[in-house]
Structure 1
């Protein structure tokens, strides 16, 4: 899509996509139809050559029939709205430092922020980072977005309003928040309930709520309603003229509620341009999708003719810049389950770490996927990186579909079945099967069995995808895709990498262990969950400072690839990484090198726990008024003697060289207590 003289045009391929998506017709037939319409000059189609590239054809959007406009909206959403918002959203990069700050933020005696608030604050910080960068280099607005300042801020405020970002949706209040953020940093985003002061609500919000009512009240009625509220809340009254001015000023914020989304959408005009995959750096875009492996396996436990036609379904995570498979999961079934998505991403994270140095986790900058299991998958993808919801049925949202059908993937898949001869070829809609069907059938009784044999072959296919040379007709000496990734990764600077901590990794990708919906209790033995029938034992990182957590109900979040550490959280005030317990030998004969030192460390920690409790108790005892103990009532002999001594010491420290004489009443009372204890 693009604009020429403020007129919206669709690309020829985009129009083909829209028709194919809506009607299900073959792509070739739709292309023939449009070319014929162009040559005959059909009235409802306004074609022109792209002035930037005469080889390309453009189609005028407003000249389309309503049915074709609906097809475009079904695929892309409202094109004006799409063109206006997407380039601005792409400028916002997730702030991992903000996430680390909010994850570790503590208040009110080591309480932590709820997870939902962390997500909200990180998103707000990411937007403020982008806005402050733009504010320092305003030329980027014209250069990258082709907008003037007024248009840019208009779109920004509207996105904040429509997407519920935790920032002011009016220009002036947003600029004030930007200035506050520059001065105070991440802390200014935290709600007053978590140790921060809440910004005072202003009357603009009340007036906006009245203005956006779908009944479209006139200015005089709105003035009356607002002034009734203002009188009850100690605010100044306003006139109908002020209401009219504000209605025009805030039109971009209230028009959706006041006039409807159609009116709102018609206000937006924006051009969106995409970059080819080869221009992206590694992990700039990562895509994921389900994939049916093109192999037949034999299930010996099945009866009937289908026992030799068993298949595996997988879920693949791939880097789009190179087409490198980063991670995968699979199972013997016809359809995937959501846990396969999470396992595939964990597998990808481990693979990325292994080829980038082996000691650091890295996240992608953007994620793309389809609508499958959107209830679970969309929030998961949003937590990893920037995720834009794709149009329903859009098979051209990125590059992973092309990867599955590429020559490279077919080579890897065939090589992995070179001896097994169980590769079943292309799907039924393909023009060619890509395999000798007679040989496939003849080898049916010698196919690999489901289970370990099948897993071995699938793992071999994934290995080939990464490590066979990525050759083409023009380059028969090309390196593997893994080697290409490593080479390009080593040329990146730190700003082009998104590193995260191990705590963040567990927070994003870990599996929550909830046995029968119950929590796990922290004891003086640490945390001891039973996960998948195996009992694990984890120690608190510091028993001295964390002993107050004993008895707390928590959730154990674990990494199925590495059970040596887990994330412990109650999703509210408790959040830390616990490591596997260091078990000590019970008998001297079983001691080993270093076991005594480890035991000494544990014993010293236990001693420190006792000393801490004793010190706190002593501090509380010292604060007791010794004179009050002497005179207040019956007390043990030892405490009475200690109080008498403390009373005398206090008097000396106060500057008296001689002990003050007790009053007659004090002396009588003291002697009564002394006589009682001396009996």
Structure 2
């Protein structure tokens, strides 16, 4: 409906029921019949698009007038609304005015908020349309020599402007008055003062005028201080007004003025750290990076330790919790390696990293870790430096920068939360779902229903695998599948030698290589090692050249069966050789096997041979420099217990003899025969040793004589 020449009209197309207008109120034939019988008043004949035939609403028969009111609303209000919609136009000068308009405060200048600018532009457009409608109404009334119907016009205009807010397609947001009288006054103000009349007085912010620079500094200082009584906003408001009276400041009317001032964006950073802590201020006001999504595996690993959120019962029946250290691939969120222990220490980190490397088969390009727990020991042992191309400790107190903490939270809430002995998430979690059912848990703790530590470890491994097989939140692909199908050409593959190099822990202090090998202590347990030949025998040449030398030892805590020996010089650690556990023998003859006896004989022979070789080299050196005792008429004492003569008789293998004796059936006879055989063999060994010593002396005399000549 619309008003035409002061007459409320309804279009012909609106009245007729058709496929395109099922909401019409009469068939086309009925309308034509009414028109033919002169029952309808045609106000305007239609012609062309956008120029429909208009029929005076008041000329409709009562039946159809009632139907039209029920279906289309009050015709006068709808006509005003349609007229407004037709004449509403957003003017560029209004947009420019409100965009450039500024509010000047005592300490700053601000523009209007964008939402407010849009609202004021709409207000201006609606008021412009109302002015045009009012002018048309006045002109139409005067053309008929009638007085304008002011009350009725503004009543309908107020209803029409409010209907603009309810339109589905052409909704126009404004905050013009609902009251007809106030709407009329608003238009008069707008006509008189222009766009500035639409700017609300609330943007003058009286508190800014009242709170001077000095008063503001006092407010911030009093709100920040921790050295005297800490105040609430209400208390600060009261204190401020007392202070204002003393200093001649303007008093404030409400706590809102205080709050609005303190929470202004440029003011809040001045006191936030004092009230809530510097870390809270850093979190709120510090710029946060937005990282691009990683595109391949092993580009970045995160590692961190946290409480394992399960209760368990120890062997003494006490309720305990433990810690878990996890290593995660940032690209796929796959948990690669972990270790469960009472605390986050060096050992937990070591085993978690080792498991991650074994799973990945490659070194990560970058590793990020915090600077707590046992990481300082890992750094001193060069493990972290050897583990990745770049090993970086994350900034402390910056949880948002660590992807692994976000993953932990989701892992706890989505997977660990399934088990009744779940302790609840970390203390910073606020949702009720992040807590366990304490009543249920305590009742079952009393009844001794908690799992053991081994059961908790097994359950954690299961939940961990569920996490790895679950879809990644951004790709929808299983985490394991993402990791398995990804390739990173820039990461180094790891072999067995790399594992030793990476995970070997170097002793803090060197140990001395002695006649009894080399001894180190790990976690209060002593381990002895010696260098062996390829045949598994002690390397006597290494003994001869290195007794008294100090070596650093590198070992794997989970495999102490082989260690590496290093010397340290100005350029760093230099690898020397590998060492294995020191070979022990039975001390009592009764417990010795043939292998023990054979080993003893071989070592005894090698020791004697080493003595002979050392003696020969020493004599040659002395003779070469004319310093040998024989060259000066003196004699050299013979080597004690060493026979250098070649044995005439075949050597008796005591091991074979003992084996033969052990096959005897009678136990007593076996013992007697074994004792006799051992005694006989010992005598023969002593005899051979004596002959060897005589041969040695003879060879030495000949050597000396040759040297002198």
Larger Rg: 2
What's the TM-score once normalised by structure 1's chain length? 0.42
Q: Using CA pairs below 8 Å that are at least 6 residues apart, which structure has the higher relative contact order?
A: 1
What's the TM-score once normalised by structure 2's chain length? 0.41
